[in-house]
Amino acid sequence: DGGITQSPKYLFRKEGQNVTLSCEQNLNHDAMYWYRQDPGQGLRLIYYSQIVNDFQKGDIAEGYSVSREKKESFPLTVTSAQKNPTAFYLCASSPRQGYGYTFGSGTRLTVV
């Protein structure tokens, strides 16, 4: 079955460490997205990519980095520059032009 796989489901990070969240899709979707979800904040866009080897900053890109070397994969790195990384992270993908997103099941990141 086609879908989006995020891993790991739970991730713990020590302060000062970089961590990478994985997102893989087999839906043949062109566009992929990373959102952060905090209580009362809804979903906020971190980065998105509409094509391989290209990506754009979203509303809260500071302290994050991404790559898009393959159509299927869009990993997110949370760097030590991100001041408050504890949150729920959602990856999504979409065919172009007006369709809704298909979401992964999310990664809960906690700084310890």
Partner 1 sequence: AQTVTQSQPEMSVQEAETVTLSCTYDTSESDYYLFWYKQPPSRQMILVIRQEAYKQQNATENRFSVNFQKAAKSFSLKISDSQLGDAAMYFCAYRAPHRDDKIIFGKGTRLHILP
Residues at the site binding partner 1, with contacts judged by CB under 8 A: 31, 33, 35, 40-43, 45, 48, 50, 56, 58, 88, 90, 92, 94, 96-103, 105-106
Indicate the residue among 18 and 56 with the shorter CB distance to partner 1.
Answer: 56
- On whether the CB atoms of residues 64 and 76 are closer than 8 A, the answer is yes
Compare residues 10 and 14 and give the one whose CB is closer to partner 1: 10
Residue from 59, 1, 68, 79 nearest 32 by CA: 68
The least CB distance from residue 42 to partner 1, in Å, is: 4
Q: DSSP 3-state assignment of 69?
A: coil
